[in-house]
Chain A
Amino acid sequence: MHKTSGLRDPAAAFPLPRRRDDTQDRRQANRAVAVSALGLAATGLIELLLAVITGSVGLLGDAIHNLSDVSTSAVVFLGFRLSRRPPTERYPYGLERAEDLAGVGIAVVIWVSAAFAWTESVRKFLEHGHTAHVGAGIVGALIGIAGNQVVARYKLAVGRRIGSATLVADARHSWLDALSSAGALAGLIAVALGQPWGDPVAGLVVTAFICHVGYQVTADVARRLADGVDPAVITTAEAAAGSVPGVIHAHARARCTGRTLRVEIEGWVDPDLPVRDADALGRQVANSLARQLPEASSLTWVVRAGPA
Chain B
Amino acid sequence: MSEPDPARTPTEHGHKHQQGHGRKQNGGRMTGLRHRVGHMLVPHSHDTGDKVDAAMETSREGIRTLWISLATLGATAVVQAVIVALSGSVALLGDTIHNAADALTAVPLGVAFVIGRRPATRRYTYGYGRAEDLAGIVIVLVIAASSGLAAYEAIDRLVHPRQVSHLWAVALAALAGFAGNEWVARYRIRTGRKIGSAALVADGLHARTDGFTSLAVLLGAGGVAAGWPAADPVVGLLITAAILVVLRDAAREVYRRLLDAVDPALVGQAEAALAAVDGVRGVGPVRMRWIGHALRAEADIVVDAQLTVVQAHQLAVAAEHALIHAVPRLTAATVHTDHLAAPGLRDPHEPLAHHGPDG
| Structural contact, A251 and B10, CB atoms closer than 8 A | yes
Q: Is the CB of B310 within 8 A of A305?
A: yes
Which segment of B73-81, B129-137, B221-229, B233-241 sits at the interface?
A: B129-137
Distance A25 CA – B312 CA, assembled complex (angstroms): 43
Smallest CB–CB gap between A21 and chain B, Å? 21
Cβ–Cβ < 8 Å partners of B286 in chain A: 6, 92
A120 located at the interface, meaning its Cβ lies under 8 Å from any Cβ of chain B in the complex: no
The minimal Cβ–Cβ distance linking A306 to chain B, given in whole angstroms, is 7
Q: Is A249 an interface residue (CB 8 A)?
A: yes
B304 and A92 contacting across the interface, CB-CB below 8 Å: no
B298 touches A10 (CB 8 A): yes
A5-B285, A10-B284 known; A234+B341 contact, CB < 8 A = no
Inter-chain contact B285/A229, CB cutoff 8 Å? no
Query: Who on chain B is nearest to A92 by CB?
Result: B287
Residues in A neighbouring B36, C-beta threshold 8 A: none
Q: Judging by beta carbons under 8 Å apart, are B137 and A92 in contact? A: no
In the complex, per-residue mask of B309-344: 1 if CB is within 8 Å of any chain A CB, else 0: 111110010000000000000000011111101010
Interchain CB contact under 8 A, B11 and A251: yes
Q: How far is the CB of B32 from chain A (nearest CB, A)?
A: 25
A271 touches B282 (CB 8 A): no
Known: A90-B264, A273-B309, A276-B305. A229 touches B141 (CB 8 A): no
Across the interface, do B334 and A302 meet the contact criterion of CB distance under 8 Å? yes
Given A95-B259, A273-B309, verify A300-B289 contact (CB < 8 Å).
Answer: no
Q: Hey, which chain A residues are within 8 Å of B7, CB to CB?
A: 307
Kindly state whether residue A215 has any CB partner on chain B within 8 Å. Answer: no
Interface residues in A4-27 (C-beta closer than 8 Å to B): 4-10, 13
User: In the complex, A87 Cα to B259 Cα: how many Å?
Assistant: 11
Of A3, A92, A227, A305, the contact of B6 (CB 8 Å cutoff):
A305
The residue among A4, A226, A228, A300 with the most chain B CB atoms within 10 A of its own CB is A226
Tell me if A268 counts as interface (CB < 8 A to partner B). yes
Minimal beta-carbon separation of A163 from chain B (angstroms): 28
Query: In whole angstroms, what is the CA distance A3 to B275 when docked?
Result: 9
Q: Which of B122, B285, B288 interacts with A7 by CB under 8 Å?
A: B285
Query: How far is the CB of B348 from the nearest CB of chain A, in Å?
Result: 9
A198 to B128, CA, bound (A): 46
Instruction: Find chain A residues with CB under 8 A from B169 CB.
Output: none
Min distance, Cβ A289 to any Cβ of chain B, angstroms = 15
B300 touches A278 (CB 8 A): no
Size bracket, chain A contacts: 35 or more
Query: How many angstroms from the CA of A266 to the CA of B259 in the assembled complex?
Result: 25
CB contact list, A72-99 vs B, under 8 A: 87, 89-93, 95, 97-98
In which size bucket is the chain B interface?
Answer: 35 or more
Q: Which residue in chain A gives the minimum CB-CB distance to B345?
A: A276
Interface status of B293 (Cβ within 8 A of chain A):
no
Q: B10: which of A97, A226, A266, A303 is its contact (CB, 8 Å)?
A: A266
Smallest Cβ distance from B268 to chain A, in angstroms?
A: 9
B260 at the interface (CB under 8 A from A): yes
B190: interface (CB < 8 Å): no
Residues of A within 8 A of B311 (CB): 275
- State which of A93, A231, A266, A273 has its C-beta within 8 Å of the C-beta of B287: A93
A1 to chain B, nearest CB (A): 6
Whether the Cβ atoms of B289 and A228 lie closer than 8 Å is no
Contacts of A275 in B (CB 8 A): 303-309, 311-312, 337, 339
Judging by beta carbons under 8 Å apart, are B267 and A92 in contact?
Answer: yes
B52 at the interface (CB under 8 A from A): no
Q: List 20 A-B contacts (CB under 8 A).
A: A10-B284, A91-B260, A92-B262, A92-B267, A93-B260, A101-B255, A104-B137, A108-B141, A225-B258, A226-B124, A227-B126, A249-B10, A252-B125, A266-B334, A272-B309, A274-B306, A276-B347, A278-B312, A279-B341, A304-B313
Q: Give me the 9 closest cross-chain CB pairs, A-B, nearest first.
A: A89-B264, A307-B6, A92-B287, A231-B122, A253-B125, A271-B310, A276-B305, A2-B282, A226-B130
Chain A residues with CB under 8 Å of chain B are 1-10, 13, 87, 89-93, 95, 97-98, 100-101, 104, 108, 222, 225-231, 234-235, 249, 251-255, 257, 264, 266, 268-276, 278-280, 300-308
Beyond the given A3-B275, A93-B289, A303-B309, could you list 7 further A-B residue pairs with CB under 8 A, ordered by the A residue number?
Answer: A6-B271, A8-B285, A90-B264, A249-B10, A300-B334, A306-B6, A307-B6
